Structure 1
């Protein structure tokens, strides 16, 4: 039997263990940090001078002081000091500073990126997978330059938004 959980390394109680409440409370403290996390900011390298219990940050790439050796970790301040959790793929947190979600993709934190297969509003698909390139209009017996310029502008906007591939 191991002494911690496999995903979040939460401490487990051992049979006959003295002071079980300490192990249990530590596990609850770590759960409080990782369940629906809300962080102050992403990428801070030095711990803040006056953190409040319950506040959390995502540690930057070159951590200093108490955060040394915890790059990319979720760092939470508790009454007992700093607690750290190494992220797992799919962990996301709300960033107060950025006003959006950030997600650990297995190698780095991605802020403000939304990944999906389709976008629905009131049950109706409004954005889906990128479509093949659309060629600009050419030729024809009658040329309407204003209409052609308008179509080219629409195609460029759709390409710029990534909705259709570049031709």
Structure 2
């Protein structure tokens, strides 16, 4: 059986015996680790963004209906390395911060999900019902992430 040439979760390239130019493989792995460790995406978009001089190392979460170079890569992270794109498929439970909205997303069952917006109880005679609804929405979200069981 031939050993895999990449890691199982994030397809990081592995070094092999007698490999020439090991630094290329090693640097590729570092680029991916740099993007995926405590992942932060500039935004969730479907079209390749206009890139400026400061774009190297930035990531975007590819939205549904992606076009151009991102076609067929919905849900993946696109990492700009200064001359071309690297793409990372998310692993179950992976988290990413979206800078554009200030939200944190978690990859669960093939989808990126965010915590639900929960309104503050407004007071008056429905305080108990509003509080119960807010608590239920929190519990449902935590259950979807596997943090709370029924």
Structure 1 length-normalised TM: 0.70
Identify which of structures 1 and 2 has the higher relative contact order when contacts are C-alpha pairs closer than 8 Å and 6+ apart. Answer: 2
Question: Offset at 1:154?
Answer: 2.3
- Does the residue aligned with 2:104 lie in a helix, a strand or coil? strand
- Does the residue aligned with 2:26 lie in a helix, a strand or coil? helix
Structure 1 segments of 4+ aligned residues over 4 angstroms from their partners: none
Question: Cα distance 1:156–1:26, how it changes in 2: closer, same or farther (>3 A)?
Answer: same
Equivalent residue in structure 2 for 1:88, among 75, 86, 91? 91
- Does the residue aligned with 1:159 lie in a helix, a strand or coil? helix
User: Aligned partners of 2:107 and 2:132: how far apart in 1?
Assistant: 28
* TM alignment of 1:16-165, pairs within 5 A: 16-42=18-44, 44-51=45-52, 52-113=55-116, 152-163=125-136
Question: Offset at 1:24?
Answer: 0.6
RMSD: 2.1
Question: Offset at 1:113?
Answer: 4.7
Question: Offset at 1:156?
Answer: 2.2
Q: Which runs of 5+ in 1 are unaligned?
A: 115-149
* Greater share of residues in helix: 2
Structure 2 length-normalised TM: 0.77
Match of 1:129 in 2: none
Match of 1:15 in 2: 17
Question: Offset at 1:160?
Answer: 3.0
Larger Rg: 1
